[in-house]
Structure formats: structure tokens, C-alpha cells
Amino acid sequence: MTKVRPKVRVPKTAKVGDVVKIKTLISHRMESGIRKDKKGNVIPRDIIQSFEAQFEGEPFFSVDMHPAISADPYFAFYFKVPGSGEFTFIWRDEKGQNWSLKRKLAVS
């Protein structure tokens, strides 16, 4: 399996009430379990099944993924800033592995 690398882009500062755009990307093959390799062997299923974004521990955006999701899932979404705090982004796969990143947001 290739190395899984999550990436997140969040503004470092904002004002209370601003609506900010958040972008996430995770490099992952997202194998459906249907494709075959060059020798005709089925490539084992390997997908990320969910993604969740939290602010100060409270979920505000989540996605359930299925085999039809493309490789390297990318999500962009908006968040209304209530104040300074920390975002947590969590990706979970079917095998119980998790990847997470944290990013701070300061109110200016």
C-alpha cells in the first residue's frame, strides 16, 4: 500500500463571524476490491470509510465514503468562525486505521 498522507488548508486567522473555506486532501488509492492487476488477480479492497472535521471537539462536517469515491479524496467546505480554537480532522478506514491532523485558528 502507498503511504497515506493527509493535508489540510485552514486560514491561520479570521474574525468572529467570518465564513472560511477549509480544504482537505488525503493521498490514498481507494481500491474498490473490483479491479484486477496485470496478472488478473483481484486487488484487495482498501478504502477510507469516513472523514470528520471538528472544532474544539465538536463535529461540524462529516462524510461517509464508499468504493465509488475516487482515489485521493478531496473535500472543500465552509465554517463560520465562532472564536479562536483548534480544528481536528480525522480519516478512518475499514481496517481500523485512523489519520488525523490538527490546525489552530486565531481570532484577529
Q: Are 1 and 10 in contact (CB under 8 A)?
A: no
Length of the chain: 108
Domains of the chain (ranges, CATH numbers) = 5-34+44-107 (2.60.40.10)
**Integer Cα distance of 11 and 83 in angstroms:** 13
Cα dihedral: 53, 99, 75, 61 (round 10): -20
**Integer Cα distance of 66 and 63 in angstroms:** 10
**Integer Cα distance of 46 and 19 in angstroms:** 35
- For 44-92, the pLDDT digits (tens) are 989 999 999 999 999 999 999 988 888 999 999 999 999 999 999 999 9
- Whole-model pTM: value is 0.90
